[in-house]
Structure 1
Amino acid sequence: MKITERSKARRGHTRSGGLGKLGRGVAIALMTGIAPLALHASIDREASYEPVSPTVDQARANILIARQLQFTHFRDLSIDDSLSSEVFDAYLDYLDGQRVYLTQQDLERFEPLRYGLGAALKTGRLQPGFDIYNTVQQRVIERLEFALDLVNQGIDKLDFDRDESLLLDRSEASWVANQQELDELWRKRIKNAVLAQRLSDKSDEDIEKSLKRRYESQLNRSRQARSEDAFQAYMNAFAGMWDPHTSYFSPRTSENFNINMSLSLEGIGAVLQGDNEYTKVVRLVPGGPASKQGQLQPADRIVSVTQEDEDTPVNVIGWRLDEVVDLIRGPRNSVVTLEVIPASASDDSMTRTIAIKRDQVKLEEQSASSEVIQLQRDGNNYRIGVLTIPTFYADFRAMQKGDPNYKSTTRDVRQLIDELEDDGIDGLVVDLRNNGGGALHEANDLVGLFIDEGPTVQIRNANNDVQVLTDQDPTVSYDGPMVVMVNRMSASASEIFAGAIQDYGRGLVVGSQTFGKGTVQAVRPLNHGQLKITQSKFYRVSGGSTQHKGVVPDIEIPSRVDFSRIGEDALDHALPWDQIEAVPHTRYFDFSGIIDQLRKNHDERFATDPEFQLLQQEIDFLTEQRAQDYVSLNADVRAVELQQIEDTRLRIANARREIQGESTFETLEELEDWQTAQAADPDGQEDELDFILREGGHIMADMLELDRRLASIGAMETIAAQAN
């Protein structure tokens, strides 16, 4: 599908129900102070909420942001009527992404602002955005009060014998027509929440306490809205028109930027971001507590946080990101328990609790490591070296001090390669799965360990100036056959390395399509907060960008990850893939003569390997769950559906244990108890060679066999030609 430079309109540009343009005269009039009266005319004043107003500093920052976006961002966009309309949709999506607070009547009141927001944003007139924010906050309060009233009436009055259902994902749905329809939607949402907890064997008394605690917590937060909350939401909806990595940081967020973006200092080691009402896990920090514990996953959404010395969980739905971060951080060796909606959950009411011991993420725990795997095939023994690189790191502080022994990815890998070659390896597998990137110069230097010299990556800025990073060191640490393993969480610097190895023909890339993060951001100070802005874009030496498309493996291995939710191409307004001129580079090996046979061998192993068969069953199961649009609110139907899900999970888990020679579990509860016990002691778990990595070794062995066969055939053909 072709993606234009304007970028596709926000999902559902016609979400407002096809309302027509009402003319600029109305919009301009609303910018002059009439809007607040019009927008708030129907607000129920009994609900206590004090509308927030913009400040002079925010208005100045708005003007600076608009200028930076127009004149320094990589994408060239004009703030015109079309963009104004997209900002309007994006802002409403930001504030009510699931269409559960606003009605079509509210949208009709907002509609005159659609084509006036752009002009207002260029000149620092923030009141229209604040008017929308205040109305949404008021609607949130009204909904939460409705929910509390319904729960207080007694959940025993809810009828679970009726054949009703609830749409799970309303992000593409239309807003309901009026308050009566919204009441009906929320009645179903509460029924769903109650039913989910009943099926988890919770008593009605506990369910009522839980729901009251959740709604009261959200209600208190909504009533405490600050001017900065509205400004940050509005600016992020505006900045997000250029690309999803351009965003505004409030002064509070800017003060703790590094901590807020990566909870690596006495935390859990996770990168978090706001996702409508939720805080979502973006990725796990390699070597961090959450990564080692193994249960928290990217795209999980955090519902509540419980401290070690407290029994009552704190519901964090609707909380600000920085406040959730502060709650999760804590003293080293203390335990924090997160209640999350798993990324694989088919229903937001399905949650699990994960206890993680806080710790510091040490550089040595993110370091590259190596091992040798031995494969017996048709009487031949292959020794395959494996390099695992969790991130591209460098001890910048030690470098600045002039320490000759400072740690870095390239220095560590060079030493590990020497050790592996001393062990007599036949080939090398470089494992970059879940490597989210890191230091760009380390990716450049690492490529240099495998090529004589030459370009490694191209960087193009907004002025179309192209900088080419090169390896100028002619020495090669390893010149043997290579396989590079990647997956959806391999991003940025990982994609630069994998793309270069692929372009040079130095090795095969195996796994799943990578993330597609091919842009570079800079953080620029404002008079009020900071702006993180995309300023350049990565391109491979072959000319294609790593942006949006990522690196497509030569041999693909299916993944459990939902590509529609994780990856650059899953983000709204992501910069498109494109290409520039290639730069001269050597092609070390042409795999075209053997790639079909390599894929055939892989497919045959996939068809007979029980672990691959289980992987495919898991993928099919998850795909089926994700495709479920509605959930039943009938207790009997829901119980049957839940039992089927639990039976499938238990069957797959037991099948895997049988393959590993372990005893099976009688019930899902036994399985979950065992998983919890394992996760509580990540350091005590034995490292096992995962079958995906083992397959990388088999592909390497295939390469060695086919390469020798081809060489032999070539030699015979040469001899025959000379004889004739």
Structure 2
Amino acid sequence: MKYTRQLRHLLTPSLALSLLIALPTSAMTSVLQPEPIHQQTITDIVTSLNQDHYNRIVLNDALSSKVLDQYLESLDPSKAFFYQSDIDDFEQYRTLIDDEISQGELTAAYAIFNRYQERSESRLEKLIATLESPDYNVDFSIDESIVIDREDSQWAANETEMDEFWRKRLKSALLGLKIADKSIDEAKELLIKRYKSQLKRATQTNSEDVFQNFANALTKQFDPHTQYFSPRLSENFNINMSLSLEGIGAVLQSENENTKVVRLVPAGPADKAGQLKPADLIVGVGQGEEGEIEDVVGWRLDEVVDLIRGPKDSVVRLNIIPADGDDTQQKVIKITRNKVKLEEQAAQSKIIQLEHEGKPFKLGVISIPAFYIDFAALQRGDPNYKSTTRDTAKLINELKTEGIDGLIIDLRNNGGGSLREANDLVGLFISRGPTVQIRDPLDRVNIQADLDPRVAYNGPMAVLVNRLSASASEIFAGAIQDYQRGLIVGSQTFGKGTVQTLSPLHHGQIKLTHAKFYRISGESTQHKGVVPDVALPTMYDTDQIGESALDGALPWDTVSEIPHQRYINFKSILPALTSRHQERTKFDPDFLFMNAQIKRMHEDKQDKEISLNEKTIETERESSEQWLLDQENKRRTAKGLPAIKELSDLDDLLEKDSQGRTISPEQEALLNETGNVLLDMIELTNKYVAVKN
């Protein structure tokens, strides 16, 4: 576990990479200057932000200061290239950027970038020369360490300090590759190739790239979802959707010099393969079963995406650094490219049988991976068009014929989708009433409501959520909670409570946030998400995943509550439900396993430095692997299962679902415990005893 966290840093020497531009330039033949069109475009961007963005921000000295800091952060996040003297020089722009933008000027932006080019070019050439020198040797037996997160570090005061930083950074990169089974010569060759590739590709950096990066330093001050796209990237701006339709079904983003997995598209190729997880880092991409894996550290996001995408049914291999603590080294995974089929994202049902107070109960479970609707079929008048609400209604009817005692709506990992479907789905469980409020930049509030008095299911229900339940999922869960129609069980949701639109500019496009969701209680789902009535353990690191993990995310706030019906008063029984849950899971093998991992994860996060001693790293790696194996065998023994010798043995032992995905024991344990909580609720409220729908 501890080793995993170290390896992530060892394998990725901090070469700065902004969201949309290539890393450092080399062989810089000319000083980049803004093009005439950029002067008009920055004015257009400001106009769009002022007129259409939800967050009204004044263009003043305070904003200017924030833009400068953001721009420097985007260029050099690890303080690996700029010197303190450079930063001192840039102070002259701290309160001038707003004035320049107002006049369509970009002097500061290009002056700073050209200095960055100079520094990074020089440093990369020095790194290559060092690695190519026959006299360069590294001693991995020395007890020394390197700071993991340099956010609080000072800028290098001189070349001596910068050289020392890079000596350790280069050593950490070599050590990480050596631990990943590369010989020293192979590791050197890989790094030389990486740095030369960055230098070569950086020569393609043009004025458009600089402008886009600076423009996004401005837009990011409004919120993290607002972004400017140059004409080139506008043609392919929606990388998320392109991936979901033509590649592996993963939403990616740049994080410093790495490509990070944000979430997986339900029923997509990556989701089915079951090996790629949110917050994993992609550091290499290979084509086919045996093609050479190309190092992509320091690449632009769109270039990584181009490598990942390919013909349907072809294989892509990804070299990843796992985000969680279950795997303590980088690994290569295979995914077969395909398109996501609507029917594979459809809601599915099953029945789980639990015992409560000595009596058997049948609970229906409907898993909804996304809020979908087949608009094409709807528009052509197909009476059998598919949608989340229509499919769920059918499944409810099927479950009712089975005589279920309660219903669980499983929204785990559901990243959202159609607002219309979220509204209609709420309508299956209430007679009629408001479902969500939407406020625009002019403070006008639009109320969405269910107007259909028909109810598909009026029995006891619970909604299971986790950190990856977002947007439309949060609207549904929030409405069910506000109506007190059912219990919300799980972990705090993502907190995505904003709406974005894409608007054309004369030069490029701008995606900006223009509205915000509010529950009928008046509370926003933004930032805070939906807090469950009964909390379950979560393996997701909230510092890495969720709206609150994004810099500049819009805050949680409230509007007026809308009068609405309340079906059951859960407040009086919530303490008892929580107490029973805690008592029941106190010695449960799966919950003990999860809680031990969560504790270990938080402990590892406290480490601020990593060792550069190979023996220390290997010892920590072996200790981490042994700890995880011991925890797994402790769980298996408690469940009456035979122990395993290697963690890899689990792959053949765990059950698979209908699509071939591994069924995690932890996820099944969370579902069953949600069922137990629901049965407690039935007992304590006496509301639905013996009711069969």
CA 1:679 to 1:508, structure 2 compared with 1: closer, same or farther past 3 Å? Answer: closer
1:680 deviation in Å?
A: 14
CA contact (8 A) 2:593 2:632 kept: no
Is it true that 1:250 corresponds to 2:230 in the alignment? yes
Structure 1 residues 47 and 411: alpha-carbon distance in aligned structure 2, compared to 1, 3 A threshold = same
Greater CA drift, 643-652 or 324-333: 643-652
Change (3 A) 1:455 1:686: closer
Shift in CA distance, 109/671, structure 1 to aligned 2, threshold 3 Å: farther
The equivalent of 1:705 in structure 2 is: 683
Partner of 2:11: none
What's the Cα RMSD here?
2.6
**Residue 9 (structure 1) aligns with:** none
Please name the residue that 2:295 is paired with.
Answer: 315
1:407 equivalent in structure 2: 386
Aligned-pair distance for 1:290? 0.8
- Range with greater deviation from structure 2 (366-375 or 658-667): 658-667
Pairwise mapping of residues 224-235 of structure 1 onto structure 2 (< 5 A)? 224-235=204-215
Partner of 1:450: 429
Q: Displacement of 1:346 after TM fit?
A: 12
**Could you tell me the TM-score, scaled by structure 2's length?**
0.91
Q: Structure 1's 280 and 199: CA in aligned 2 closer, same or farther, altered over 3 A? A: closer
State the distance in 2 between where 1:319 and 1:161 align.
32
Letter in 2 for 1:533: L
Structure 1 256/345 Cα, relative in aligned 2: closer, same or farther at 3 Å? same
Q: SS in structure 1 opposite 2:458?
A: coil
Do the aligned partners of residues 345 and 398 (structure 1) sit closer, same or farther apart at CA in structure 2, a change above 3 Å counting? same
Deviation of residue 132 (structure 1)?
1.4
Q: What pairs up with 1:317-356 in 2 under 5 angstroms?
A: 317-344=297-324, 351-356=330-335
* Corresponding position of 2:8: none
Report what 1:683 is aligned to.
660
Corresponding position of 2:189: 209
Alpha carbons of structure 1 residues 407 and 67: separation in structure 2 relative to 1, 3 Å: same
Distance 2:617 2:423 in 1: 53
Residues 478-627 of structure 1: matches in 2 within 5 Å? 478-627=457-606
Cα offset, 1:351, TM superposition: 2.8
TM-fit CA distance, 1:60 = 1.5
When residues 175 and 681 of structure 1 are mapped into structure 2, their CA distance, relative to the original with a 3 A threshold, is farther
Displacement of 1:355 in angstroms is 1.6
| CA displacement at 1:304 relative to structure 2 | 1.4
Matching residue within 110, 121, 124 for 1:130: 110
**Does structure 1 retain, via aligned residues, the 8 Å contact 2:26–2:203?**
no
* Matched residue type, 1:571: L
Match of 2:9 in 1: none
Per the alignment, residue 118 of structure 1 pairs with: 98
Q: Pick the aligned partner of 1:417 from 396, 399, 414.
A: 396
Q: Deviations over 1:469-524 (max 9, x none)?
A: 01000111111111111111111110000000000000111111111111111100
State how far apart, in whole Å, the 1-side matches of 2:60 and 2:590 are: 54
Alpha-carbon spacing, 1:278–1:620, altered in 2? closer, same or farther (3 Å): same
Residue 695 of structure 1 aligns with an amino acid whose one-letter code is E
Q: CA–CA distance in 2 between the matches of 1:475 and 1:659? A: 47
Mapped contact 2:26–2:117 kept (Cα < 8 A):
no
How far apart in 1 are the matches of 2:582 and 2:445? 41
Q: How far, CA to CA, are the matches of 1:431 and 1:677 in structure 2? A: 21
- Cα deviation code 1:499-552 (max 9, x no counterpart): 000000001111111111111111000011110011111100011111111101
Taking structure 1 as reference, are residues 677 and 100 closer, same or farther at Cα in structure 2, changes over 3 Å only?
A: farther
In structure 1, the partner of 2:163 is 183
Tell me by how many angstroms 1:412 deviates: 0.5
Higher mean C-alpha deviation, range 553-562 or range 315-324: 315-324
What is the rounded CA distance, in whole Å, between the counterparts of 2:339 and 2:315 in structure 1? 13
Bigger mean CA deviation after superposition, 194-203 or 54-63: 194-203
**Structure 2 Cα separation of the partners of residues 677 and 383 of structure 1:** 24
2:146 matched to which residue of 1? 166
- What are the Cα deviations for residues 225-273 of structure 1, in whole angstroms up to 9, with x where unaligned? 1222211111111000001111111212211234454402231000112
Cα-to-partner distance string for 1:663-703 (whole Å, 9 max, x where unaligned): 544345x459x489999996275797711111111111111
- Give SS of 1:430's match: strand
Query: Partners of 2:209 and 2:99 in 1: how far apart?
Result: 22
Q: Percent identity?
A: 49
Q: Which moved more, 1:137-146 or 1:682-691?
A: 682-691
Determine which of 88, 97, 101 is the counterpart of 1:108.
88
Q: Residues 123 and 95 of structure 1: is their aligned pair in 2 closer, same or farther, counting only changes over 3 Å?
A: same
Given the alignment of the two structures, is residue 84 of structure 1 paired with residue 61 of structure 2, yes or no?
no
Higher relative contact order (CA 8 A, sep 6+): 2
Change (3 A) 1:288 1:710: closer
**How many Å apart are 1:137 and its aligned residue?**
2.7
Q: Is the 8 A contact 2:148 2:609 kept in 1?
A: yes
Paired residue secondary structure (1:608) = coil
- Quote the Cα distance in structure 2 between the aligned partners of 1:594 and 1:614: 28
Task: Confirm or deny: 8 A CA contact 1:491 1:514 kept in the other structure.
Answer: yes
Count how many residue pairs are aligned between Structure 1 and Structure 2: 666
Q: What is the CA distance between 1:356 and its match in structure 2?
A: 1.2
Moved more, 157-166 or 409-418: 157-166
Counterparts in 2 of 1:154 and 1:698: CA distance versus 1, 3 Å: farther
Aligned pair in 2 of structure 1 residues 226, 577: CA closer, same or farther (>3 Å)? same
Q: Deviations over 1:633-681 (max 9, x none)?
A: 122322222222222233234445556666544345x459x48999999
Equivalent residue in structure 1 for 2:440, among 449, 458, 461: 461
Q: Give the partner amino acid of 1:466.
A: V
**TM-score, with structure 1 as normaliser:** 0.87
Q: Is the 8 A contact 1:262 1:270 kept in 2?
A: no
1:708 to partner: Cα distance: 2.6
Unaligned residue ranges in structure 2 (runs of 5+): 1-23
Secondary structure (helix, strand or coil) at the match of 2:571 reads: helix
Shift in Å, 1:142: 2.2
- Contact 2:368–2:410 (8 Å) recurs in 1: yes
Counterpart position of 1:93: 73
Judge conservation of contact 1:239–1:246 (CA < 8 Å) in 2: yes
User: Which segment is superposed worse, 200-209 or 373-382?
Assistant: 200-209
Q: Which of 300, 306, 316 is the equivalent residue of 2:286?
A: 306
The C-alpha deviation readout for 1:50-106, integer Å capped at 9, x for no partner, is 433222222221111011112221111111000000000011111111222212121
Q: Shift of the alpha carbon at 1:310? A: 5.2
CA distance in structure 2 between the aligned counterparts of 1:625 and 1:170, rounded to whole angstroms: 17
State the one-letter code of the partner of 2:95. Y
Q: d(CA) in 1 for partners of 2:641 and 2:118?
A: 55
> What is the DSSP-based 3-state SS (H/G/I as helix, E as strand, rest coil) of the residue aligned with 1:429?
strand
Aligned 8 A contact 1:448 1:471 in 2: yes
Q: Please name the residue that 1:635 is paired with.
A: 614
- Kept in 2, the 8 Å contact 1:284–1:298? The answer is yes
Alignment match, 1:8: none
Paired residues for 1:209-288 under 5 Å = 209-288=189-268
Return the alpha-carbon distance in structure 2 between the equivalents of residues 193 and 657 of structure 1: 37
Q: Structure 1 residues 83 and 338 mapped into 2: Cα distance closer, same or farther (>3 Å)?
A: same
Whether the 8 Å CA contact 1:141–1:223 is kept in 2: the answer is no
Contact 1:278 1:301 (8 Å CA) reproduced = yes
Question: 1:389 is matched with which residue: 368, 387, 397?
Answer: 368
Matches of residues 9-88 of structure 1 in structure 2 within 5 Å?
A: 47-88=27-68
Residues 289 and 316 of structure 2 are in contact (CA less than 8 Å); yes or no, is this contact kept in structure 1? Answer: no
State how far apart, in whole Å, the 2-side matches of 1:45 and 1:611 are: 51
For residues 394-427 of structure 1, what are the alpha-carbon distances to aligned partners after superposition, in whole Å with 9 as ceiling and x for unaligned?
0111111111111110110111111111110000
- Alpha-carbon shift at residue 155 of structure 1 (Å): 8.5
Native 8 Å contact 2:146 2:168 kept in 1 = yes
CA contact (8 A) 2:239 2:251 kept: no
